[in-house]
Structure 1
Amino acid sequence: MASLPQSLTLPFGGGTSVSAAGGGGAELSRERKMASAEQLVLDLSNPDLRENALLELSKRELFQDLAPLLWNSFGTIAALLQEIVSIYPVLSPPNLTPAQSNRVCNALALLQCVASHPDTRKLFINAHIPLYLYPFLNTASKSRPFEYLRLTSLGVIGALVKVDETEVISFLLSTEIIPLCLRTMEMGSELSKTVATFIVQKILLDDMGLDYICTTAERFFAVGRVLGSMVASLAEQPSSRLLKHIIRCYLRLSDNPKACDALRSCLPDMLRDATFSGCLREDPTTRRWLQQLLHNVGVSRVPTLQAGTGFEHMMVN
């Protein structure tokens, strides 16, 4: 099963391991960390103390059940949302400073904690909190503060889809997450592109998501065009982890008969020849996916593509 890039996974579930020999000292340390976290969560409701509390809590190593504490503490989620909406005015025209970006990303890290926890994930989506992040994914500036903001926002969505729950996919499909991810896949940094492609991949791996993408030619065309563009870019600047997610998306699309038929004519040539043999040399899993993809679409070598082929035949069906 595909996984979110390691740099964006949060260690809330594990915490710091403590040997049994630690005895009462370890327990005392745990209680102190819990008391410290509880005080910092309370500080979030105080505008004068919030910035420091966000910074300390975003280090994410205080104790195991931070997510339920954040969700159930009075005013805490409202305070985090206040941080998010406070920078909407500087998104367009783009005037986001590094300090503003860092502060709101600390708030987003706490929301990712809530999105990751099994006790709060459903509450998180029922409250439609991911929608507050969508304006960040709709930005076009490639400056570092905006890129950091997009990447951290994608991390929250990535934490939701990582768990393979149809309820999460159903919620996301009711929003504009697919177009927003496609936007990032076209213009983001390599890491942002990787996380956005991972999200699309996880949506496709759910039957509801695959049906959604393949129901209309327009949706399939949109996804296929962006994937094809990314493959072309990777030929110039290879990234094995991004290529892995792209190939997995194509392979999943080939599970749909209509999409599989379209892929016979529009699968990028560079996936059929030796362009990426170097990238895949050390990745037997992705090589196997690519072989299965080519088998599914009935292609073993590069055909001669005629002008006008591609998605057009789908667009009129």
Structure 2
Amino acid sequence: MVCILWFHGPQCRDVSLRLDQLVLDLTNPVKKETALLELSKKRESFPELAPYLWHSFGTVAALLQEIVVIYPLLQPPQLTSSGSNRVCNALALLQCVASHPETRTLFLEANIPLFLYPFLNSTSKARPFEYLRLTSLGVIGALVKVDDPAVISFLLNTEIIPLCLRTMETGSELSKTVATFIVQKILLDEEGLAYICATAERFFAVGTVLSSMVEGLVEAPSVRLLKHIVRCYLRLSDNRCARDALRACTPEPLRSPAFTACLRDDAVTCRWLAQLLVNAGFFADAREVCAENLQPSPLLQL
């Protein structure tokens, strides 16, 4: 057990001892569920909780045990709300580890994200499964939030893109938003953009899902989700082959002022959309979105 060195004073020592005990309880089958709940609720209060969890004997194994034990409940779908809540508390602690600069690389080197992929592969729309999907996406989202090429390189060697595309097609609005954010962050990395645009099959897999999502937003608008979709399209237009393809496959609603009016209070996204339309050759449509006289952005030499 490592020591918590950031606590000072009698009251803080009491907190330190309490946290020590909760982490120890993660390896006690009788006390584990309560410890998971308490630590997940307190995780924001302790900036150095992640290295403490990682370096404490048996703790990460105890968290992974919570994940693998419910694999048999995924198909056929048998997961209960209480079971989902328990594993999501474990995932919240793993997200803490994934987002900390001291433990992020160790988290990847141990291939821990792969343990989450069966949850993303589930297609059940029942609330326990949706909560599980969303929390799992949150762990991956925490990894990509920091612009680290090593994270993107790791993810590209896994099945994360097809899994995100599946969620973007079938998940709740919030799950779709997080999955689209992950794809966006992959695209914003040069290796990620090159990977997705390396073959027509990969490009059209992403493009087809993005287009389908835009069509879905015609009936059920979501500014938050649309913002990420527009950024994905704009980034794709930085690639020469993708830009040529977007001249023919940019979704019609993105060129419609009636559809994009929901963005009028978001100057950044309006400019992204206008730049996308300019890059794809729709200059008149771009002027309807943004009064700025934009020119096609330079193509990346990948």
* TM-score between both structures, scaled by the size of structure 1: 0.86
* Partner of residue 90, structure 1: 73
5 Å-filtered alignment, 1:22-37, equals: 27-37=9-19
Question: Hey, what's the Cα distance between the residues in 2 that align with 1:234 and 1:69?
Answer: 43
5 Å-filtered alignment, 1:219-298, equals: 219-298=202-281
How far the C-alpha of 1:276 sits from its partner, in A, is 2.5
In terms of fraction of residues, the more helix-rich structure is 2
- Which sections of structure 1, spanning at least 5 residues, go unmatched? 1-14, 16-23, 303-317
One of 28, 31, 35 as aligned partner of 1:46:
28
One of 40, 61, 86 as aligned partner of 1:78:
61
**Given residue 158 of structure 2, which amino acid in structure 1 is its aligned partner?**
T
How far the C-alpha of 1:28 sits from its partner, in A, is 3.4
Question: Hey, what's the Cα distance between the residues in 1 that align with 2:14 and 2:201?
Answer: 55
* Partner of residue 118, structure 2: 135
Question: Hey, what's the Cα distance between the residues in 2 that align with 1:260 and 1:61?
Answer: 42
1:160-196: CA deviation from partner (whole Å, max 9, x where unpaired):
0000000000000000000000000000000000000
Does the CA-based 8 Å contact 1:40-1:57 persist in structure 2? yes
What is the aligned length? 279
Does the CA-based 8 Å contact 1:37-1:62 persist in structure 2? no
Question: Hey, what's the Cα distance between the residues in 1 that align with 2:14 and 2:188?
Answer: 43
Does the CA-based 8 Å contact 1:251-1:290 persist in structure 2? yes
Identity, % of aligned positions: 71
* Partner of residue 150, structure 2: 167
Question: Hey, what's the Cα distance between the residues in 2 that align with 1:143 and 1:88?
Answer: 16
* TM-score between both structures, scaled by the size of structure 2: 0.90
* Partner of residue 184, structure 2: 201
* Partner of residue 217, structure 1: 200
Question: Hey, what's the Cα distance between the residues in 2 that align with 1:131 and 1:137?
Answer: 10
Secondary structure of the equivalent of 2:253? Answer: helix
Deviates more, 1:92-101 or 1:26-35: 26-35
**Given residue 89 of structure 2, which amino acid in structure 1 is its aligned partner?**
N
Deviates more, 1:71-80 or 1:27-36: 27-36
* Partner of residue 146, structure 1: 129
**Given residue 37 of structure 1, which amino acid in structure 2 is its aligned partner?**
L
Secondary structure of the equivalent of 2:201? Answer: helix
* Partner of residue 294, structure 2: none
How far the C-alpha of 1:231 sits from its partner, in A, is 0.1
How far the C-alpha of 1:301 sits from its partner, in A, is 5.0
Secondary structure of the equivalent of 1:275? Answer: helix
Secondary structure of the equivalent of 1:276? Answer: helix
Question: Hey, what's the Cα distance between the residues in 2 that align with 1:245 and 1:34?
Answer: 40
Does the CA-based 8 Å contact 2:253-2:260 persist in structure 1? no
Does the CA-based 8 Å contact 2:254-2:260 persist in structure 1? no
How far the C-alpha of 1:275 sits from its partner, in A, is 3.2
Question: Hey, what's the Cα distance between the residues in 2 that align with 1:28 and 1:182?
Answer: 51
Larger RCO (CA within 8 A; separation ≥ 6): 1
How far the C-alpha of 1:274 sits from its partner, in A, is 1.2
1:76-100: CA deviation from partner (whole Å, max 9, x where unpaired):
0000000000000000000000000
Question: Hey, what's the Cα distance between the residues in 2 that align with 1:102 and 1:47?
Answer: 17
